[in-house]
Amino acid sequence: MSSLAVTSPRIVLADRLGAHNVLTNVAFILGGAILTAAVAQVKIPMWPVPITGATFAVLLVGTSLGMWRGLASMLTYVAMGAVGLPVFADFQGGLDSLTSGPTVGYIFGFILAGALTGWMAQRGLDRSVWGAISIFLAGEVVIYAVGLPWLAMFLKNAGYEHDLSATLSAGLYPFIIGDIIKAGLAGALLPATWKLVNRRQRESESRA
């Protein structure tokens, strides 16, 4: 009984949805990268950092896939952009997109956020409303922790104000309301998905 209690929270949604072998794991990893690329094109233009759907996709992918698959999926996303595929906002891609511009730090923050949210989901936090909210908020903090220092350097090199207040005004404050909404959506969506998946599994087992 104690062994079951320790191991069961490490099952994430991807495991319940069929990620049981190398082929299906690769499919989920690639699918997460493609989803992030697609949603990154949903954008509200702002300068220097636009509002996009990429952050929500990153956090959802990490939470659904678990730590290692979430990490692999975001590495795949970044690698796709590095080789020139138009996966970043505004259909941008190529090494220039990963070495210059105000959003580079956020993109690399996606990698850490994918791993962290997956790790938290493996602890079963995505099965409750407040747990799912905490996962998304933690992932957002990680993205900002990487994104804001890079943004400050970009502002400095471009000749703009780059102190803490200016950096937060450019790269954090405009996104707070949206981040709260994303976390709220996660709190509603993820536990409900777990309930649906578990119910279907019980029904399938009862028919077997």
Q: Which domains are delineated in the chain?
A: 2-200 (1.10.1760.20)
Residue 134 pLDDT exceeds 90: yes
5: pLDDT strictly greater than 50? no
Say yes or no to pLDDT of 2 above 70.
Answer: no
Give me the helices (H) in the chain, please. 2-7, 13-16, 22-39, 54-65, 67-82, 104-122, 129-157, 164-171, 176-207
Q: Grade residue 10 by pLDDT with cuts at 50, 70 and 90.
A: confident
pTM of the model: 0.91
pLDDT tens per residue across span 159-175: 999 999 999 999 999 99
What's the CA gap between 178 and 174, in Å, rounded? 8
Q: Residue 9 corresponds to which tokens in the numbers above?
A: 């929270």
Is the model's pLDDT at 6 over the cut of 70?
no
Quote the DSSP letter at residue 51.
Answer: E
Is the separation of the CB atoms in 32 and 86 below 8 Å? no
Instruction: Indicate the average pLDDT of the chain.
Output: 92
User: What secondary structure, in 3-state letters, does 136-179 show?
Assistant: HHHHHHHHHHHHHHHHHHHHHHCCCCCCHHHHHHHHCHHHHHHH
pLDDT at 87 over 60: yes
Structure tokens at 181: 């909404």
pLDDT at site 20: 86
